[in-house]
């Protein structure tokens, strides 16, 4: 067995019987994370994985489809007057007041109908697809692991080092994340408690030239590296701080996000943190019979919402808001119709949440369309491919090269503007020049939001080849903020630009039109 294959087998063993070194596992430490501008070097991504398949229609309720939802899921649908309305056509579960407040404060955005083609509804296979970012059943590397293999082809040799002493990624708990699985090893370290002891017995194994000796020498190297990573994590946790009083001290999600805030504020240069939340496989007792706003799903959403809101509050108090962005995902949604056990069965697409101060817009993607006819086992159709979301995060947040990103994925990427507001220059980020298109992606209609000082404004739509598709309007606008509806019925699906021309300059925004299904 070659050493590379040996190390890979050790990393992959975490799926079954992981190699546990007290509270730490071997992982990677970066050089500069991506070949990006300095503005992106200190950015952090927090991924919260909702294991089991979250019920998207019970989490984010399309109010314009409420009458048909009452037909499809009469025993679990929450009364409309108990929902937390965030737009005229969308409401959150009543247990999600923390995330509702974040949405109102422009710290939360929602991408609707996210999934992958021909969803198979298997927990294991679907999670493999989400963590690898590939539909290929032979894919073994994670989507972040693939990118890091491109940047650091010799990993794990010579890590950590003086210039790069910190882990690349941290997975909270006892298992490294498959998202960060690379070719030779996993790029993440599993941490249960950053304050726990990290001193492992170092064997000092010498290679005697035998097959056994070569591998034992390398295992000894892993232990030395784990101690070095542990020392960095421990020092950062002790040097860090947490200022929010909103965390639930008895909740595991809150505890992990508080740990992450402490490590970041303590100076740890880790770029990615992963938090796992179990319990979303709600086939039965998803709600309390006769009280659909309560039950297991409500408890889970309350925990997630409270923890994320506390974490965002902590980042704000610590002055770290512009450095940290987060996302949630689940391996699939649930079926449209409820079952007879006050639950829901495996489905297809579901909403994905983004949080932070650098999000692009509130709602991305149209509401799902719910039929008044119950179709056995029907799920919410996919409108947005999750791989487009991954690729867009790499582009927008870490400023990774789009050509390299495209090479990571098996399908043609449609980039979405998800986390770009903090990338804008001062002129672009001024209120006068701000241009926003929402929802984006859209189907037959979207809305343009802009401000002007009282002047003639011309608005046109172009395709990516520069061909004029239509002129929306050309007229005088009063000073202030304006919302202009853009009708797209009959326009082919694809990528487009909306161009706003006014006296102060010409400003453009990309958007995606989806096929009407």
pLDDT in tens, 190-229: 999 999 856 654 555 555 556 555 556 667 666 777 788 8
Cα distances from 29 to residues 236, 270, 406, in angstroms, run 15, 8, 24
Q: Which of 262, 85, 287 is nearest to 191 (CA)?
A: 262
At 407-453, the pLDDT tens digits run 999 999 989 888 865 754 333 333 334 678 877 788 888 888 888 88
Distance CA 63, CA 68 (A): 10
Residue 483, classed as helix, strand or coil, is strand
Cite the DSSP H helix spans in 266-385.
296-318
At 478-503, the pLDDT tens digits run 988 888 999 998 898 888 888 888 87
Residue 277 scores a pLDDT above 90? yes
Distance CA 193, CA 172 (A): 8
- 490 vs 273, residue with greater confidence: 273
Torsion of CA 449, 455, 458, 464, to 10 degrees: -60
- What is the arithmetic mean of pLDDT over 136-156? 88
Token representation of residue 362: 């509130």
Token representation of residue 97: 């007041």
Distance CA 47, CA 390 (A): 11
In this prediction, what percent of the chain has a pLDDT beyond 90? 60
Rg (CA), the chain: 24
At 357-412, the pLDDT tens digits run 998 768 999 999 999 999 999 999 999 999 999 999 999 998 888 999 999 999 99
Indicate the pairing of strand 44-50 with strand 384-385.
unpaired
* pTM, full prediction: 0.79
Q: Which single residue is written with the structure tokens 């200022």?
A: 243
Cβ neighbours around 252 below 10 Å, total = 16
Domains of the chain by range and CATH? 17-200+227-423 (3.40.720), 428-513 (2.60.40.1930)
């Amino acid at each position: 067995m070659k050493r590379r294959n040996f190390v890979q087998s050790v990393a992959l063993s975490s799926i079954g019987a992981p190699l546990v070194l007290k509270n730490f596992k071997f992982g990677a430490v970066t050089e500069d994370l991506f070949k990006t501008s300095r503005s992106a070097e200190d950015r952090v991504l927090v991924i919260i994985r909702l294991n089991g398949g979250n019920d998207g229609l019970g989490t984010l309720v399309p109010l314009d489809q409420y009458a048909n939802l009452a037909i499809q899921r009469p025993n679990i649908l929450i009364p409309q007057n108990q929902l937390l309305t965030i737009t005229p056509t969308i409401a959150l579960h009543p247990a999600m007041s923390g995330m509702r407040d974040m949405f109102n404060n422009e710290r939360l955005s929602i991408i609707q109908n996210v999934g992958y083609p021909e969803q198979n509804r298997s927990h294991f296979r679907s999670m493999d697809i989400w963590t690898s970012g590939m539909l290929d059943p032979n894919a073994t590397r994670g989507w972040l692991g693939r990118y890091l293999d491109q940047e650091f082809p010799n990993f794990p040799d010579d890590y950590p080092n003086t210039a790069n002493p910190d882990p690349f990624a941290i997975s909270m708990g006892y298992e490294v994340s498959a998202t960060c699985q690379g070719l030779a090893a996993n790029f993440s370290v599993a941490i249960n408690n950053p304050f726990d002891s990290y001193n492992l017995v170092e064997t000092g194994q010498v290679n005697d030239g035998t097959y056994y000796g070569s591998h034992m020498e390398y295992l000894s190297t892993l232990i030395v590296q784990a101690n070095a990573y542990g020392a960095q994590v421990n020092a950062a946790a002790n040097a860090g701080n947490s200022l929010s009083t909103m965390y639930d001290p008895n909740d595991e999600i809150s505890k992990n996000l508080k740990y992450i805030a402490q490590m970041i504020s303590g100076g740890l240069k880790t770029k990615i943190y992963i938090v796992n939340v179990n319990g979303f496989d709600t086939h039965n007792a998803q709600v309390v019979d006769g009280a659909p706003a309560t039950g297991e799903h409500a408890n889970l959403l309350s925990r997630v919402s409270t923890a994320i809101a506390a974490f965002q509050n902590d980042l704000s108090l610590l002055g770290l808001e512009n450095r940290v962005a987060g996302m949630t995902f689940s391996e699939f949604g649930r079926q449209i119709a409820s079952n007879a056990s006050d639950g829901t069965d495996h489905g297809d697409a579901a909403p994905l949440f983004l949080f932070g101060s650098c999000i692009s817009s509130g709602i991305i993607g149209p509401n799902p369309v719910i039929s008044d006819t119950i179709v056995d086992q029907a799920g919410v159709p996919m409108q947005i491919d999750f791989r487009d979301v991954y690729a867009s995060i790499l582009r927008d947040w870490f400023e990774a090269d789009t050509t390299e990103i495209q090479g990571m994925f098996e399908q043609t990427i449609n980039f979405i503007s998800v986390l770009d507001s903090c990338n804008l220059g001062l002129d672009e980020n001024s209120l006068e020049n701000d241009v926003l298109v929402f929802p984006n992606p859209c189907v037959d209609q979207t809305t343009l939001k802009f401000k002007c000082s009282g002047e003639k404004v011309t608005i046109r739509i172009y395709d990516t080849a520069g061909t004029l598709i239509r002129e929306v309007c050309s007229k005088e606008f009063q000073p202030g903020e304006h919302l202009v509806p853009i009708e797209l019925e009959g326009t082919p699906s694809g990528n487009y630009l909306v161009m706003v021309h006014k006296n102060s300059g010409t400003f453009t925004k990309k958007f995606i039109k989806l096929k009407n299904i």
